[in-house]
Amino acid sequence: MAEPTVAAAYRQIVRSRVAAQASYRTSFAVEVVSQVFIVLVEFVEVYAVFHQVDDLGGFDFAEVSLIYGLSVLSFGIADLVVGHLDQLPFYVRTGTFDALLLRPLSPLGQLVTSDFSLRRLGRVGTGIAVLAVALVAVDVDWTPARVLLAVVTPLAGAVIFSAIFVATSTIGFWVVEGMEFTNAFTYGGNYLSSFPFTVFGTAIRRFFTFVLPIGFVAYLPTLALLGRPEPFGWPDWLSWSSLPVAAVAGWLSLLIWRTGLRRYVGTGS
């Protein structure tokens, strides 16, 4: 009877968070709308670039929009679910985290369910819209495998970004200050993932594909959708590998988190 009880506890927590965030209707609506606006404002960068040129690293406006859409949606989902984990030092400093340790639920599970921001649904919704428009605009030779890939890719991307959030937030167990360091990998990864990797140097491309699997979020699956070989000679199956890569990344991040948790001794205050 242990399993249903845990699930029921999480359901209760999630329900209370939803109710709390939706209770100030006007404020909530404004926040959701501003999230939509934010995605559009960020898109100005891509728009301005393609006002100057027709081609960026071998990709046209529609193709870069597809990469951008996949990236926005993946990051939007991850940010909705685990984006607040970079607040861990705050929980540690105030002792709130220690309270989570006393409860019979996983601390990570409690952190994730305790503070997720529903307003980010605005971002997710806009991501879906951008992606849908881009998918219509680009020239894809649709096969069942590519349809499946288009559906699975944002979810795999969300798992990859979540893994990076979880793994980097682990350093919050040790340092209370300097968490901005992790932004280079989370938000920096998001920035990097929304452009074709052909614009980056070899070292950057390799690091953000094989060490931090950011290339699997949007760039490589886009190649597979367009039926294009990787311009630098990486094998084609790599472009189809986002899902298994996401699974490994997710597992590794949980491993890192558990290691951090085991060593956690509190602030002594």
Partner 1 sequence: MPSAPAAALSPAVALATAGFRRWSTYRLAALAGVFTNTVFGVIKLSILLAVAESAGGTVAGYDAASLSTYTWVSQGLIAVVMIFSWTELADRVRTGDIAVDLARPIDLQLAWLAADLGRAAWSLLSRALVPLVFGAVVYGLYVPSDPTALALLPVSLLLAVVVSFGCRFVVNLTAFWLVEVRGVVLLYVLVSGVLGGHLVPVHFFPDWLQAVAYATPFPAMVQTPVDLVTGQAEGTEAAGLVAAQAAWAVGVLLLGRVVLGRATRKLVLQGG
- Binding of partner 1 by 232 (CB under 8 A): no
Taking the complex as a whole, the smallest distance from the CB of residue 13 to partner 1 amounts, in Å, to 22
Closer CB to partner 1, residue 29 or residue 255? Answer: 29
Query: Which of 115, 129, 109, 112 lies closest to 35, judged by CA?
Result: 129
- Binding of partner 1 by 42 (CB under 8 A): yes
- Binding of partner 1 by 52 (CB under 8 A): yes
As a whole number of Å, the CA-based R_g of the chain is 20
- Binding of partner 1 by 139 (CB under 8 A): no
Query: Which of 26, 7, 15, 63 lies closest to 231, judged by CA?
Result: 63
Q: Work out which of 12, 27, 143, 267 binds partner 1, going by CB under 8 A.
A: 27
Taking the complex as a whole, the smallest distance from the CB of residue 45 to partner 1 amounts, in Å, to 4
Q: Work out which of 49, 145, 147, 255 binds partner 1, going by CB under 8 A.
A: 49
Q: Work out which of 17, 57, 109, 125 binds partner 1, going by CB under 8 A.
A: 57
Closer CB to partner 1, residue 185 or residue 240? Answer: 185
Taking the complex as a whole, the smallest distance from the CB of residue 139 to partner 1 amounts, in Å, to 20
Taking the complex as a whole, the smallest distance from the CB of residue 4 to partner 1 amounts, in Å, to 37
Residues in region 151-210 near partner 1 by CB under 8 A: 175, 177-181, 183-184, 188, 191-192, 195, 198-201, 204
Residues in region 78-97 near partner 1 by CB under 8 A: none
- Binding of partner 1 by 121 (CB under 8 A): no
Residue that is written with structure tokens 């305790």 in the block: 114
Q: Which residues are at the interface with partner 1 (CB under 8 A)?
A: 24, 27, 30-31, 34, 37-38, 41-42, 44-45, 48-49, 51-57, 119, 175, 177-181, 183-184, 188, 191-192, 195, 198-201, 204
